[in-house]
Structure 1
Amino acid sequence: MNGDERPEGPEEFADGLLEEELRQAAAVLDPVPAELVQAALDAFALHDLDARLAELTFDSLVDALPVRGVTDAPRMLTFRAGEVTVDVEVTEEGLIGQLMPPQSARIEVLGGPQTTHPVIADPLGRFTSDAPPTGPFALRVRTGAEVIVTEWLRA
């Protein structure tokens, strides 16, 4: 036994019992909704351990200067992961984007649990999605060599 370990005494045992009773009471009186549990499980399933996280380097909502007279300009986003850059334009009709350097890839538009919209980037790295994101979304880019996941953003 090292200096950090203490034998469990009556107080620690009573605290453990109290904690367990409180957990059981909360499970009965205020259970976690099944939808929330499923959403948490689905979100964890979307997690790619080998994926590189693409950092948001430009967001037109934050970084661009407003243009006088333009009220509904598309949102422009740029993500970077190492040498790979993903440029995306978010419109009411969907997404338009390009990978740099140009390359073919499979791109999944993630919109939450069990909602993915796969699109294919052509050899020039261009891609489009006819499904506009309606809430939080991210992109999962699968090139031949790696998987890149963008940060989650609100549409």
Structure 2
Amino acid sequence: MKIEKLLKTSSNLPLSKKVVVNILYTYGIVNGKLNDVLKPYDISIQQFNVLRILRGQNGKPASLSTVQERMINNMSNTTRLIDKLIKKRYVEKEINQTNKRKIDIIITNQGTDFLNEIDNLIDSTEKDIVNSLSKDETLELIRLLGKLRLIAN
């Protein structure tokens, strides 16, 4: 369906605006579907992203800046996200032993267990989101989005 019809506009949008609006509109749909899956677990997509980053550390602590660099959506409220995850007992933080001004963040066993519990649910949701695309279309979409990211940075 054309974006103009979705947005109920009759104006003829420039091609560049169509691309950007399509990406943003689609992001909203994808983000909404993932948030709907995570909602019953009382966790946001951003908190989930932090947990996946920390699990990827394979037991090694990460600094706040490391987590921020790897976030899908770079945001300034990473500290708040981590504090919420601490309250849920999914992560812990402690003062770095070599640099007392830095904080080390590590995923707890409870956090890892939680991710292991919902991994299949997230995987199946991601597959559902892209299942209308063929493998070639999926690879082409990945290539094109990668190309846009190079230009946008």
TM-score (norm 2): 0.28
Greater helix share, structure number: 2
Larger Rg belongs to:
1
Greater strand share, structure number: 1
